[in-house]
Amino acid sequence: MKCKMFVLKNAEELNQLFMRNKDMSMLLDEKDRNILHEFINELQITKDNCLSLLKTFLTLQEHNYSIEIIWLLHTKQIINFAEFIKCYQWDLDHIVKTLLIISESNDKLNQTILTDLLTSLLILLSGEPNHQFDQHIRIIQTFLKQSSLMILRKPETWVYLKNLQFSPFLIKSTIHKVFKVVLKNMLMADIDFHLDVAYEQYRLYKTPDPVHNMLLMILDELDVDVLYSLINNVVTLDAQKANWKMILSLITTFVKKKSYHSHILKLKLEELFNQTLCSSSTNKDFLKCKATLLIFRHCCLEIGLWSEYSRWYSSYKPNVDTAKVFYSLLTELLPNDLPAALAAHTNVQPKLTESCCNIQTEYVNKAQAQLTKINNGQDFMGLFKDYDDCQNRHEADIVKVLDSFKSTGQIMRVVLEAFVFRNKYFVGTFLKTLMDSKLVDDQLRNSFIEKLYSMNKIPKNVYNKWKQQQKSIYF
């Protein structure tokens, strides 16, 4: 009787609270939060049969109430979140949508709610398979898949992964599973940065800081074998439409984070490339060859710039059949391949059998012709490829490299590569545009020039002439 009186006494107040908080993704205001806390505290000291009356009350709400109500009942061990899902037969998509919405929030309470509720479901993964939890597992799988795509659009939303990593209730193997699923989905996502685009832009692409930080955390949990397995999987399934931004970022971050394991990864990727070449018989295989070469080359460049790749190329020993595929691949890449790559392919050649020499010589001649074309056409080429037709590409180059220098304090790699492999362009066009005395004096530009000079990238006579011109601006 006391329990019924208690419920009846609070029913109207609770009903009004639920009416005000029908949106599942909405948090309570302070007043409603206090009302609910008071109700839960009273409920905890009443008899057990009051719980059945509460569940009846919840059922009458037709599942239209704030996620915070669910969370509070869960954390107070009145009704477990897993029990909510099983007993109240919620729409699974609606639950996932709500969890995704709160994952976007930087609010501490939202993140706490998300962490606690996800943890309660993830704990189910650590036990023996049980079909009564199929719904719960589907929620986790769907959430992680959609969350992976959300992180690609809004990189800052990965913070919930960090919270899960430090949850005292989750074992290491569960965290590994979560990170592996998230990374796999991100690598497979089609974000319109396909293989052909990646080949043109991979030396220009810079990993956003939030993505870099997320990958650092993930790589703390995943070893080189798992990383290689994920890369191999995505290249095998759909090399063309894979998320090449994430693939390149993953390799870059791994090499910098785990430099002591970077050569292990390089050897694995080299083996993958060789296996792909050996088994290449269809256009699909050829596409995979193209993908594995890019991955392997990028790993080499992150380890030791072009010298690492050049050393590999000069000592590479493909057999007759493999050499045909290999040089056919390099020939296809000629129009868009980087000058540094072409230079690496024309400097020192692998020692091949006599039957392969014609194939090799034909490619080298074409590569040298392409390099000559690039050098002769230096005034039309520029450092980058993403220009508007109306842009002066040389001035656009200066703007881009100065923006990068301002944010990083470092000279862009593409500038240093131009100094080595396109020196005529570098001195005759790039430096000439950079040091043009007609340009308004700019401290950032001056600092950039001084940095280049300190690295011995500017001829002394060119630098002295510029310094003299700088003085004439003021006197």
Per-residue pLDDT tens over the stretch 322-371: 888 899 899 988 888 887 788 788 877 788 777 778 888 899 889 888 87
What is the number of domains present in the chain?
A: 1
444 Cβ contact list (under 8 Å, min separation 6): 402, 405, 406
Residue 265 has pLDDT above 60, yes or no: yes
If one compares 177 and 475, the residue with the highest pLDDT of the two is 177
Instruction: Report if residue 219 sits inside a domain.
Output: no
pLDDT at 473 (0 to 100)? 53
464 Cβ contact list (under 8 Å, min separation 6): none
pLDDT at 145 (0 to 100)? 94
pLDDT at 1 (0 to 100)? 44
Residue 81 has pLDDT above 50, yes or no: yes
If you ran DSSP here, which 8-state letter would residue 458 be given?
S
Say if residues 294 and 242 touch (Cβ distance below 8 Å): no
pLDDT at 112 (0 to 100)? 95
pLDDT at 199 (0 to 100)? 82
pLDDT at 161 (0 to 100)? 95
Cα 251 to chain centroid, rounded: 10
Of the ranges 58-62, 120-124, 413-417, the best mean pLDDT one: 120-124
**Residue 104 and residue 33: Cα distance in Å, rounded?**
22
Residue 143 has pLDDT above 90, yes or no: yes
**Residue 204 and residue 200: Cα distance in Å, rounded?**
9
Residue 273 has pLDDT above 90, yes or no: yes
Radius of gyration of the chain (CA): 30
Mean pLDDT over 294-311 rounds to 86
Residue 6 has pLDDT above 70, yes or no: no
Mean pLDDT over 283-303 rounds to 87
State if pTM tops 0.85: no
Which range marks the domain in which residue 433 is found? 400-472
Instruction: Report if residue 414 sits inside a domain.
Output: yes
Instruction: Report if residue 431 sits inside a domain.
Output: yes
**Residue 277 and residue 296: Cα distance in Å, rounded?**
13
Q: Which of the four pLDDT bands, split at 50, 70 and 90, describes residue 88?
A: low
If you ran DSSP here, which 8-state letter would residue 202 be given?
T
Q: Kindly report which listed range (68-82, 113-127, 229-243, 348-362) carries the lowest average pLDDT score.
A: 348-362
Say if residues 183 and 145 touch (Cβ distance below 8 Å): no
**Which tokens belong to 404?**
């990068």
Instruction: Report if residue 440 sits inside a domain.
Output: yes
Residue 108 has pLDDT above 90, yes or no: yes
Instruction: Report if residue 409 sits inside a domain.
Output: yes
Q: How many CB atoms lie within 10 A of CB 99?
A: 24
Q: Which of the four pLDDT bands, split at 50, 70 and 90, describes residue 46?
A: low
Task: From 177, 288, 302, 188, select the one nearest 245 (Cα to Cα).
Answer: 188
Instruction: Report if residue 433 sits inside a domain.
Output: yes
**Residue 263 and residue 308: Cα distance in Å, rounded?**
11
Instruction: Report if residue 263 sits inside a domain.
Output: no
pLDDT at 435 (0 to 100)? 87
For 170-206, letters b (16+ CB in 10 Å) and e give beeebbebbbbbbbbbbbbbeeebbbeebbebbbeee
Q: Which of the four pLDDT bands, split at 50, 70 and 90, describes residue 266?
A: very high
Average pLDDT over all residues of the chain: 83
pLDDT at 4 (0 to 100)? 47
Residue 89 has pLDDT above 70, yes or no: no
Of the ranges 117-131, 245-259, 426-440, the best mean pLDDT one: 245-259
Mean pLDDT over 32-58 rounds to 75
Mean pLDDT over 9-22 rounds to 77
Instruction: Report if residue 5 sits inside a domain.
Output: no
If one compares 166 and 285, the residue with the highest pLDDT of the two is 166
pLDDT at 344 (0 to 100)? 81
Distance (Å) of CA 386 to CA 341, 381, 442: 20, 11, 25
Mean pLDDT over 440-467 rounds to 88
